[in-house]
Amino acid sequence: MFSSLFDQVDSIIARDPAARNRLEVITCYPGLHAVWLHRISHFLWNLGLKWIARVLSMFARFVTGIEIHPGAKIGRRVFLDHGLGIVIGETTEIGDDCTIYQGVTLGGTSLYKGVKRHPTLGKGVVVSAGAKVLGGFTVGDGARVGSNAVVLKEIPAGATAVGIPARILHPDLPQSTDSKTKEYFSAYGVTPNVDDPVSMALKGLIDATIEQEAKIAVLEKALAKLSNTPTNNVGSSDTKRDLDAIKEWLKE
């Protein structure tokens, strides 16, 4: 029991540079308290003591500012960083070594009872501040959800989702689901060296527009020279060069 407890505390120290020692984490981290209280309420829920489990979850919400339904399944070494405003629905499943920041909602979009309404997070998933993950789909191992993103569909393993609705990016960095490894852990789901595909498309359109404007300017210049050239000089070398230049532009 104590080995598992200290394992979770040590994983928090590995992911939070503000955590100085075990005593500070155990006494001052509401995300840790919320997970511990959820373990008890989830145990009671599975025993069939659902009302008592809900009462305990409401007490945990009052104390920590984090709402976790007692039916939710939470893996080992899950870190609710800061934690205030986190809402985790009944059929949510959270894998080992996940990190969830403040203001996150793991919610459902269905009103039918007895069905999978809330998301499943794989191992090592990072859900950043203010993000909303809504629906009964899966977020793959090592995936990242950017701040304030609204995720409405499945995210592949190792990918990053940003925007409203969320768009999928594929990072060029190796992934690690080990909570004790700082090298690849991405605080707040920030993924360096990754270009947003929408931004890349817009950049391509801007570059194409600039190129077209340059071609039009050359054509206008060539046509202006032709209009001011006497009839007997139409076959001159300068005019031929201008016409050749126009042909080359049109071929591109």
CA dihedral 203, 209, 215, 219 (to 10 degrees): -170
pLDDT reading at 50 higher than 50? yes
pLDDT reading at 81 higher than 80? yes
Answer yes or no: are the C-beta atoms of 118 and 136 closer than 8 Å: yes
pLDDT of residue 226: 77
The pLDDT tens digits for 180-235 are 544 455 665 555 555 556 666 666 777 777 788 888 888 888 887 777 755 454 44
> How crowded is residue 2: how many other Cβ atoms within 10 Å of its Cβ?
6
Give percent of the chain above pLDDT 90.
Answer: 44
pLDDT of residue 4: 72
- The closest alpha carbon to 104, from 53, 138, 74, 65, belongs to 65
pLDDT of residue 88: 94
Give the residues across from 100 on adjacent strands: 80, 127
pLDDT reading at 133 higher than 70? yes
The pLDDT tens digits for 17-26 are 888 888 999 9
CA distance 196 to 190: 12
Classify residue 228 as left (phi > 0), alpha (psi -120 to 50) or beta: alpha
Q: Per-residue pLDDT averaged across 44-65, rounded? A: 94
Higher per-residue confidence, 243 vs 133: 133
Q: Per-residue pLDDT averaged across 146-160, rounded? A: 90
* Least confident span in 46-60, 76-90, 134-148, 167-181: 167-181
pLDDT reading at 67 higher than 90? yes
Using DSSP bridges, classify how beta strands 132-134 and 150-151 pair: parallel, antiparallel or unpaired: parallel
pLDDT of residue 205: 76
Classify residue 239 as left (phi > 0), alpha (psi -120 to 50) or beta: alpha
- What is the reported pTM? 0.68
pLDDT reading at 118 higher than 90? yes
pLDDT of residue 181: 47
pLDDT of residue 70: 94
